[in-house]
Amino acid sequence: MGIKAYYIMKKANFILGITALSTMPALGQTASSRPNIVYILMDDLGFGDIGCYGQEKIETPHIDQLRQEGMRFTQHYTGSPVSAPARCVLMTGMHSGHAQIRYNNEMAYRGATNDHDSMFVHKELEGQYPLKANTMTIGRMMQNAGYTTGCFGKWGLGFPDSEGTPNKQGFNQFYGYNCQRQAHTYYPAFLYKNEERVYLKNKVINPHLARLGKDEDPHTTKLDAGADPRDEAAYAKFSQKEYANDLIFDELISFVGQNRKKPFFLMWTTPLPHVSLQAPERWVQHYVKKFGDEEPYTGKAGYGICRYPHATYAAMISYFDEQVGKLIQKLKAENLYDNTLIIFTSDNGPTFNGGSDSPWFNSGGWFKSEYGWGKCFLHEGGIRVPAVMVWKDKIKPGSETDHICCFQDVMPTLAEIISVTCPPTDGISFLPTLLGNKAGQKEHEYLYWEYPDPKIGNKAIRMGKWKGIITNIRQGNTEMQLYDLDADLREEHDVAAQHPDIVAKFRQLMEESSTPDPNRVGL
């Protein structure tokens, strides 16, 4: 798409947002027959972090059961290798070359945005770049179609009181973290219920002070001087009272109960298993028994310290899996499960910091997951994510698809499911794939990503079996690597020199696919 055509589309999209486009059900489709939709988005969960994608150390029986009852996607992609831009692509259907938000920019010009004490006092230091007013999000589209909408978990698309908060972007109810930096601890001093702060019985502790804090600083996550890192008692001072994920889940379950008699759209955007490593003790001890003793994490790679990092990472995922099971029980108890589409996925690949150990878990699954290959990078380990979808009597149980699709495809898919006109997007509905109609499925000519990290900078193209990627753009690199994914899933053999025609075509597509970044951090 050229720049002129893109801006014509954006203008149309803006008008649609203002006028709340026509979203009446198709003839013959009643509100009561329209499916509820539950979209579950995990945070930094790798392609290989759950059992049904090959994980052997972490137990995920409830998610694995969803796979048995539905469809497993093997070529589903996120919109970006980090949180905020991935969510922007998902919410708006615009890929990262057209998206409003393309980077986790913390708007540091506001002041001490990384100081949790300051954020506690000054909420204007919270949050990330906001979505623009009247953006046609998935939430707004579903709202206009008569759905009650709720978002529970992490937001990251607009600081408090901005135009980008959930309630101003199509969600009737919100509970969780407005700001991604606040979500770096699971024991925050506050969360948000709609537009208001809800203060918790937790102390303000900055999870990033493990390396920087002084021993006597009560807000540091550093062990006391002389403390033995292997002594569990040394970590007692970090004990807190209210685990955010418990509170978020309670609100989510309440939302389901309150809206059981009308169609609802529920987005569960959990921050799990993003570091810091923090999980309920019963689950941690379960994995301590399973894995045995291990080397403590003392903060060398940022975020909070942890006595049992492997056990805690596994505990975070199994804890969430347990919650998924409880949600399914609730849907069944309310006689909602049979008329509910459930989509389970992750916002990007596995991380490399905070005590996580992606190679030990083989979190990348089929792909590499060490630094440079997972989160923050456009290699397959950073952007190809697990995706399981369940819809009783519509999706064939135990089925699998290799259909190539991405976050921008979710909005047109949901629009087709609920029989409404989809606003302009870069996506293609994958409903035919869900319904087993492979012949009726339209395909992308190609997928495009850009990630303007200020230290790295990446661009990538996927077209059929070919993957072109330019890394380290900020360091002046312009060379494209080319991989044949059919023969080289792990992107270990650069064949760019053998295919100059494909490289030239990909360079042209990269230029055509990118418009100026409205926040001026683009490539």
Q: How distant, in Å, are the alpha carbons of 60, 98, 403 from that of 54?
A: 11, 34, 19
How are beta strands 71-73 and 387-390 bridged, if at all? antiparallel
Quick one: pLDDT at residue 24? 42
Give per-residue pLDDT as tens, 40-97.
Answer: 999 999 999 999 999 999 999 999 999 999 999 999 999 999 999 999 999 999 999 9
Quick one: pLDDT at residue 27? 34
- CA 93 to CA 421: how far, in whole Å? 14
Q: How distant, in Å, are the alpha carbons of 330, 395, 464 from that of 434?
A: 24, 6, 20
- CA 244 to CA 16: how far, in whole Å? 36
- CA 419 to CA 423: how far, in whole Å? 13
Tokens for 361?
Answer: 């878990």
Residue 196: beta bridge partners?
Answer: 193
Which single residue is written with the structure tokens 């080289």?
A: 488
- CA 126 to CA 460: how far, in whole Å? 31
Average pLDDT of the chain to the nearest whole number:
92
- What is the helix, strand, coil percentage profile of the chain, to 5? 35, 15, 50
Where are the strands (E) in 180-305, listed by range? 190-193, 196-199, 264-269
Tokens for 355?
Answer: 């005590």
Give per-residue pLDDT as tens, 18-27.
Answer: 334 444 444 3
Q: Is 37 helix (H, G, I), strand (E, B) or coil?
A: strand
Tokens for 152?
Answer: 């529970």
Q: Which of 352, 237, 260, 360 is nearest to 303 (CA)?
A: 352
Give per-residue pLDDT as tens, 308-338.
Answer: 999 999 999 999 999 999 999 999 999 999 9
Tokens for 186?
Answer: 């699971």
DSSP string across 59-96: --HHHHHHHHHSEEESSEE-SSSSHHHHHHHHHH---T
Three-state secondary structure along 285-354? HHHHHHHCCCCCECCCCCCCCECCHHHHHHHHHHHHHHHHHHHHHHHHHCCCHHHEEEEEEECCCCCCCC
**How far does CA 415 lie from the centroid of its chain?**
21
- CA 279 to CA 389: how far, in whole Å? 27
CB atoms within 10 A of CB 493: 11
Q: Which of 227, 202, 203, 223 is nearest to 211 (CA)?
A: 223
CA-based end-to-end distance of the chain: 17
The residue length of the chain stands at 523
Quick one: pLDDT at residue 209? 66
The stretches in the chain having pLDDT less than 50 are 1-28, 211-217
Residue 72: beta bridge partners?
Answer: 388, 400
Quick one: pLDDT at residue 290? 98
